[in-house]
Amino acid sequence: MYLVSSYHRLLAGIRYCLRVAITVLICCGLSYAGSMRFESAGTYVSNDTYYLDAFARVDLGMEPIQALVNGVELHFLVQLAVYKTRRWWIDTPILERRLRYRLDYYELTQHYRVTNLQSGKSENFRSVAAALRELGSLSRYALLPANEINNRRQYVASIQLELDLTRLPGPLMAQALRSREWQLETEEFQWSLN
């Protein structure tokens, strides 16, 4: 008898907890914040060149999507770096590169447009998800010539993607710099080069 009642009580407790959790999730969902994270990144050598393949899952969240749809251009910044690790001293960067991308919404044709600001080429997407997938993926990017790498030493490469708030229109930037929903950046993804 006692066991049965305690079992019911346990169930009731679990149910209560679930209800609370759902409520919290719904509340969070109303002001749903985005996130960015690298799923994978890696280098390989081909034709005496180190190539980079990376894929980041980019989820902008409510606020930036809203801004995008309303004609605000979003700028993204990819920061690439290769370090030579040193045991007794600070690691030396042998490569530091910034890649800039622009995402905007073309109302007339209802396209999401991703522009590589390095090459000036742009791609159009029907959905924002596709645009973000393209934005988050970097394939066969020539990183550096293989002869710059000394195989007897250790090298670490890192990649980071962030939403560049400083390129936002003034009034929005003032707001974005203070808002948590706009603070979008991946953690630094690191892997060993060789």
Partner 1 sequence: MATRDGGVSVVIKLIRNLANSLALMLFLFLFLMATLFFVANTGEHLDSFGRSYQWWMFGIVMALGLIGILICASLWRLVADLRNNVSGSRLSLKLVVILVVMALLPVTLVYSFSVKFLHSNIDSWFDVEVESALDDALGLSRESLNVYMRMRQDTTLNVAERLAEIPDELAILVLNDFGADSDVTELTLIGADNRVIATTAFGDDLSVAPERPADDIVSRARAGISYLSIDPGSDGDLQVLSVVPVFLSDPSRGTPVLYATYPVPRNSSVLAANVQESFRNYRQLAYLRTPLKQSSIATLTLAVFLSLMMAVWVAFYTARRLIVPVHDLVEGTRSVAEGDYSTRLTTSGRDELGYLVQSFNDMTDRIEAARASAAQSQLLVENQRAYLELVLSRISTGVITLDENNRVRTCNASAAKILRVSAEVLQSIDALVTDSLVTDGDDNDFVRQFFSNIKPMLAANRSDWGIEFELVGEPGRHPVMCRGASMRSGGDEHAGHVLVFDDISDVVEAQRNAAWSEVARRLAHEIKNPLTPIQLSAERLQHKYASKLHGDDATTLKKLTNTIVQQVESMKGMVKAFADYATTPGVEFKVLQLNDLVTEISWLYREGNELDAISLQLQENLPLISCDPVRIRQVLHNVIKNSFEAMAQQPQQEMTITSRSGAYKDKPSVELIFEDKGPGFPADLRDRLFEPYVTSKRKGTGLGLAIVKKIVEEHGGVVRAENISSDDGGGRLTVLIPAVEHKTQAPNETTVANGTVQPATTDKDSYGDAA
- Interface residues with partner 1 (CB under 8 A) are 66-67, 70-72, 106-109, 111, 113, 115, 120-122, 124, 126, 166-175, 177
Q: In the bound complex, what is the minimum distance in angstroms from residue 134's beta carbon to partner 1?
A: 10
For partner 1, which is the closer residue by CB, 16 or 106? 106
For partner 1, which is the closer residue by CB, 132 or 193? 132
For partner 1, which is the closer residue by CB, 85 or 175? 175
Q: In the bound complex, what is the minimum distance in angstroms from residue 83's beta carbon to partner 1?
A: 24
Reduced to 3 states (helix: H, G, I; strand: E, B; else coil), residue 7 is helix
d(CA 190, CA 157): 6
d(CA 4, CA 42): 55
For partner 1, which is the closer residue by CB, 17 or 142? 142
Instruction: Please name which of 144, 188, 151, 140 lies closest in space to residue 42, comparing C-alpha atoms.
Output: 140
Helix (H) or strand (E) holding 140: strand 137-145
d(CA 135, CA 60): 12
d(CA 131, CA 113): 7
Q: In the bound complex, what is the minimum distance in angstroms from residue 149's beta carbon to partner 1?
A: 31
Q: In the bound complex, what is the minimum distance in angstroms from residue 29's beta carbon to partner 1?
A: 22
